[in-house]
C-alpha cells in the first residue's frame, strides 16, 4: 500500500510545482473583450466605435496598431459609386474569430486622381468593379482617417439567425440576387450581406454618414 501512496504524493508535488511556476495570465487576458464584430457603440456626435476604433476619428496608423501590418493599398472603383482608397489587412484574429479586414480611408478628389495616375495597373471583378493597386508605403497614408471598415468572417454560411441574434431585426433590407440579401442598420451604421453561396460581409461606418441605397424594403425580411 505504501507504493501507491508514494506515487500519489509525487504527483501532488509535481502538480503544485506546475501551478506555482506556470505563468500568470496578464491583466489583458482577464478583461472582457470589447472588439468583437457585434460590439458597436454610437457616440453623441454620430460617430461610432467598433473593434476599439473610433470611425471618423481614428487613423490608418491606429488601425495598423490594432490589426497589424498591411497587405496592400488600392483605389477601389465600384461600378456604381465614387472611388475609395482602401487598406487591406488580410486575415486578422479577434480572440477566437478570424476575418479579412479592409479599411476605407478619407481622401479628397485630387488625392484620388493622383493615386489613380500612379497605380500599377488595374484588376477587374466579375461585378464590374475595378481595383487599382498602389505601391505607396503605408506610412504615407498613416494620418488618413477611417471612413469605414469591411469585415469578412473566416466562417462561411453564417445564416440570418446568427445576425438577428446579435443585431436584431434590420431596419431595411434589399434582395441582391437569388442567393444574397443585404440587411441595413442605420442607427448603428451597419450593413450586412448574407450570401448562401459566398462569404458574408459586414460593413461599418459612422451612423451620421449612413445612407440607405435605393430600392430597399422595410418590414419583415424574407429569409
Instruction: Please provide the average confidence, as pLDDT, over all residues in the chain.
Output: 86
Containing structural domain, residue 131 = 2-209
Which has more pLDDT, 21 or 37? Answer: 37
Confidence class of residue 3 from pLDDT cuts 50, 70 and 90?
low
Does residue 98 lie within any of the structural domains?
yes
The span from the CA of 158 to the CA of 163, in Å, is 8
Confidence class of residue 20 from pLDDT cuts 50, 70 and 90?
very low
Q: What percent of the chain has pLDDT over 70?
A: 85
Which has more pLDDT, 157 or 68? Answer: 68
The HSE-up count of residue 176 (CA atoms within 13 Å, CB side) is 18
CB contact burial 143-158 (16+ within 10 A = b; e otherwise): ebbbbbbbbbbeeeeb
Among 215, 78, 79, 202, which Cα is nearest to 152's?
202
Does residue 178 lie within any of the structural domains?
yes
Which triple of cell numbers denotes residue 115?
493615386
Does residue 220 lie within any of the structural domains?
no
Among 46, 43, 65, 50, which Cα is nearest to 203's?
50
141: region left, alpha or beta (phi > 0 left; psi from -120 to 50 alpha): alpha
pLDDT of residue 16: 42
pLDDT of residue 29: 47
What's the number of domains the chain is made of?
A: 1
Does residue 223 lie within any of the structural domains?
no
Does residue 125 lie within any of the structural domains?
yes
The span from the CA of 75 to the CA of 87, in Å, is 9
Per-residue pLDDT of 140-178, as tens digits, reads: 999 999 999 999 998 877 888 999 999 999 999 999 988
pLDDT of residue 49: 97
Does residue 221 lie within any of the structural domains?
no
Does residue 25 lie within any of the structural domains?
yes
Range with the poorest average pLDDT among 17-21, 39-43, 69-73, 172-176: 17-21
Per-residue pLDDT of 72-109, as tens digits, reads: 999 999 888 889 999 999 889 877 788 999 999 999 99
Among 88, 80, 179, 199, which Cα is nearest to 129's?
80
pLDDT of residue 7: 57
The span from the CA of 185 to the CA of 204, in Å, is 10
Does residue 129 lie within any of the structural domains?
yes
Mean pLDDT computed over 176-195: 94
Amino acid at each position: 500500500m505504501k507504493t501507491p501512496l508514494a506515487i500519489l504524493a509525487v504527483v501532488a508535488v509535481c502538480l503544485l510545482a506546475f501551478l506555482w511556476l506556470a505563468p500568470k495570465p496578464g491583466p489583458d487576458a482577464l478583461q472582457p473583450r470589447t472588439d468583437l464584430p457585434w460590439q458597436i457603440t454610437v457616440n453623441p456626435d454620430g460617430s461610432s466605435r467598433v473593434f476599439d476604433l473610433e470611425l471618423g476619428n481614428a487613423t490608418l496608423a491606429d488601425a495598423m496598431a490594432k490589426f497589424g501590418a498591411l497587405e496592400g493599398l488600392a483605389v477601389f472603383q465600384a461600378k456604381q459609386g465614387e472611388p475609395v482608397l482602401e487598406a487591406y489587412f488580410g486575415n486578422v484574429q479577434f480572440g477566437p474569430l478570424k476575418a479579412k479586414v479592409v479599411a476605407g480611408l478619407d481622401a479628397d478628389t485630387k488625392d484620388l486622381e493622383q493615386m489613380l495616375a500612379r497605380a500599377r495597373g488595374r484588376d477587374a471583378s466579375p461585378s464590374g468593379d475595378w481595383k487599382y493597386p498602389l505601391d505607396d508605403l503605408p506610412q504615407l497614408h498613416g494620418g488618413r482617417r477611417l471612413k469605414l471598415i469591411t469585415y469578412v468572417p473566416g466562417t462561411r454560411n453564417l445564416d440570418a439567425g446568427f445576425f438577428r441574434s446579435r443585431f436584431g431585426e434590420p431596419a431595411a433590407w434589399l434582395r441582391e440576387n437569388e442567393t444574397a440579401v443585404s440587411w441595413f442598420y442605420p442607427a448603428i451604421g451597419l450593413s450586412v450581406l448574407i450570401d448562401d453561396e459566398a462569404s458574408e460581409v459586414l460593413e461599418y461606418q459612422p451612423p451620421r454618414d449612413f445612407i440607405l441605397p435605393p430600392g430597399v424594403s422595410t418590414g419583415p425580411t424574407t429569409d
